[in-house]
Amino acid sequence: MEDALIRKSLKAPRAGAIAGIAFSLLLFTALVLIRSAVPANPGDAHPLLPGGWRQVQLALSLLPFAGIAFLWFMGVLRDRMGVLEDKFFATVFLGSGLLFLAMLFSSAAVAGTLLMLHGTMRDQLVESGLYSFGRTVAYQLMNVYAMKMAGVFMISTCTIAVRTKFLPGWLAVSGYGAALLLLLTSGRFSWSPLVFPFWALLVGAHVLLSNLRTSHLEGGGPQSDAAPLAP
């Protein structure tokens, strides 16, 4: 009975860790697609590079799934913190994570609206200045505000990790460095947002491996689930 409860308790963290890996891969892919299709300067006269519309459409289709996976990722991090979770940093952790997610979706919604309008009123959209306005809003939401919230999320997570030891020290220290990079350079270097999904990938992989190792030890090895031989 006790073994069954242990296995049941391990399922949610394991799924959350996989969701964290999925979030990092989806967000990384979406950001790379957008960066390779859209000029880095939002004031550039050329709206998209050749063939960029399809890349942006694919990236926008990936972002909702990345956001869903991020919620599961937040859940597994809170589970790892356990009863040692600090209320102050937990509030910052939840607030920054949800704000990041809200601005990620807002930026995607603005970009998606521009794509829809471009298909029906392309000339009017560019001449009226709506395209430049919408593109700048989407750029600011994603590259400045969302990424700064991602930096705050990383700092709060790493601070809790240092206090509770639910992540190794090197991963917490690297998270601090990546967070400072986002806070100080977001909006200036077009590729700097990629450090967030890369860090999330490391955290998700560590949690998953740790969970599998714990499950293996608690189960007593690969043969623990085998049925006993009949006499």
Q: How many CB atoms lie within 10 A of CB 71?
A: 14
Q: What percent of the chain has pLDDT over 70?
A: 74
Q: pLDDT tens across 114-127, in order?
A: 888 776 776 676 67
- 227 assigned to some structural domain: no
Structural domain contains residue 229 = no
If one compares 138 and 125, the residue with the highest pLDDT of the two is 138
Chain length of the chain: 231
Is the residue at 231 inside a domain?
A: no
Pure H helices in 143-194:
147-164, 169-185
Task: Kindly report the pTM of this predicted structure.
Answer: 0.79
Instruction: Report which residue type is found at 6.
Output: I
Largest Cα–Cα separation, the chain: 85
Question: Phi and psi for 172 in degrees, rounded to 5?
Answer: -65, -45
Is the per-residue pLDDT at 223 higher than 50? no
Q: Could you report the per-residue pLDDT of 161-177, keeping only the tens digit for each? A: 888 887 888 888 999 99
- CA atoms within 13 A of residue 208's CA, in its CB half-sphere: 15
Question: Is residue 7 over pLDDT 80?
Answer: no
Position 90 in a domain: yes
Range of the domain at 50: 2-219
Q: Token match 């590079």: residue?
A: 49
For position 49, what pLDDT does the model report? 55
Tokens linked to 167: 């992540």
Owner of token pair 């909006």: 187
What amino acid is encoded at 16 in this protein?
G
User: Are the beta carbons of 106 and 67 closer than 8 angstroms?
Assistant: no
Count up the domains in the chain and report the number: 1
Q: Which residue has better confidence, 220 or 212? A: 212
Residue 189 in contact with residue 147, Cβ under 8 Å?
no
Distance CA 198, CA 170 (A): 15
pLDDT(6) > 50: no
Report the pLDDT value the prediction gives residue 62, as an integer from 0 to 100: 94
Per-residue pLDDT at 96: 94
In a domain, 226, yes or no: no
pLDDT tens for residues 88-102? 777 888 999 999 999
